[in-house]
Structure 1
């Protein structure tokens, strides 16, 4: 497994070692001990989630607040997504900055997003199965979110806005400045 820190401190791209042969492939998608050693983190994942979506579905930008904040380890099982993490840690040097990583069934890359980040993704392929581990349980009362097309964040979702499929709830999210500035 290879781990590369992104420009956002504590946010890592994880590339597993893949073993291919005539039968197909094998890889270890998660190993707690190896993960903790390579990221210098002590994360205990307690919940796994999976979503199925069609091309253009954009989910995000979501986060959990205060004691309910979540670190996530995300990956794509089928298809391709553009995964985005936004640093919302007010005391961080990269506060308000984001990373965007293409995660696909072929590259099998994963993105580790620590607590203190908003997260979202858009499906680039016809269909996608997206999987993620969380280190804290979901709490509806602690939900937070930033509108996907926030002018200050300037996220390039790689698809035209008219081609995006966004829930009514996500369309009503507020801006970064309204939340944090």
Structure 2
């Protein structure tokens, strides 16, 4: 499995080898050995999520209070999507920076984002599925969002697709508003949390 760190610190792309034959295809989108080598700790798994989206559906930018936060390892078992990671950790060297990876059911690339990072994606095809391996369970009181259409972020959504969004995402604050409200994770707290994970 090939691994590379994205332009956002503490986010990684994992590229597994696929094995097609006359029956179909086999692939292992998550492999613990490669993950531990890249991150220095195993993936804590508390919950798996699965979403299905119409073409043009835009979900995010979502993040959680950190600690404990919610790390995510995501891949696309059906269809295709543009996956975006945004650094929302105040004080981070890559604060406000984003990176994007196309995830699809051909290459089965996966993206890992550590606690404190923001996550969003847009479905590029109808009936696109996203699978999330999550380090913690859903915590409604600790879940937040940033507008995926914030012009200051300038996220790379395809211009030819209409954005189908939830009411929650449509009304989410801009990055500047979230900074002013003091709701974003702090980089130093996130790094201390990552170090505790590596110490186990």
Report the Cα distance in structure 1 between the residues aligned to 2:171 and 2:68, rounded to whole angstroms: 22
Deviations 1:133-153 (A, max 9, x none): 111111000111101111210
Asked whether the 8 Å contact 2:62–2:143 carries over to 1, the reply is yes
Secondary structure in 2 aligned to 1:34? Answer: helix
Secondary structure of 2:147's aligned partner: coil
Deviations 1:78-113 (A, max 9, x none): 101011110011121100100111101111100011
The secondary structure found in structure 2 opposite 1:35 is helix
- How far apart, in 2, do the equivalents of 1:42 and 1:26 lie? 23
How far apart are 1:160 and its partner, in Å?
4.3
Q: Calculate the TM-score normalised by the size of structure 1.
A: 0.93
Instruction: Tell me the SS of whatever aligns to 1:180.
Output: helix
Partner of 2:24: 24
Mapping of 1:66-105 within 5 angstroms? 66-105=66-105
Matched, 1:118 2:118: yes
1:140 corresponds to which residue? 140
Most deviating of 118-127 and 23-32: 23-32
RMSD (Å), alpha carbons: 1.4
Give 1:41 shift. Answer: 3.6
Give the match for residue 167 of structure 2.
Answer: 168
Structure 2 CA distance, aligned partners of 1:169 and 1:90?
23
- Does the Cα contact within 8 Å between 2:68 and 2:115 map onto a contact in 1? no
Moved more, 21-30 or 31-40: 31-40
How many residues get paired?
A: 180
TM-score normalised over the length of structure 2: 0.85
* 2:82–2:102 Cα contact (<8 Å) kept: yes
Misfit runs of 4+, over 4 Å: none
User: In structure 2, how many angstroms separate the alpha carbons of the residues matched to 1:39 and 1:165?
Assistant: 34
- SS of residue matched to 1:169: helix
- Secondary structure, in 3 states, of the residue corresponding to 1:66? coil
Runs of at least 5 residues in structure 2 that lack an aligned partner in the other structure: 181-200
Of residues 14-23 and 167-176 in structure 1, the stretch that sits farther from structure 2 once superposed is 14-23
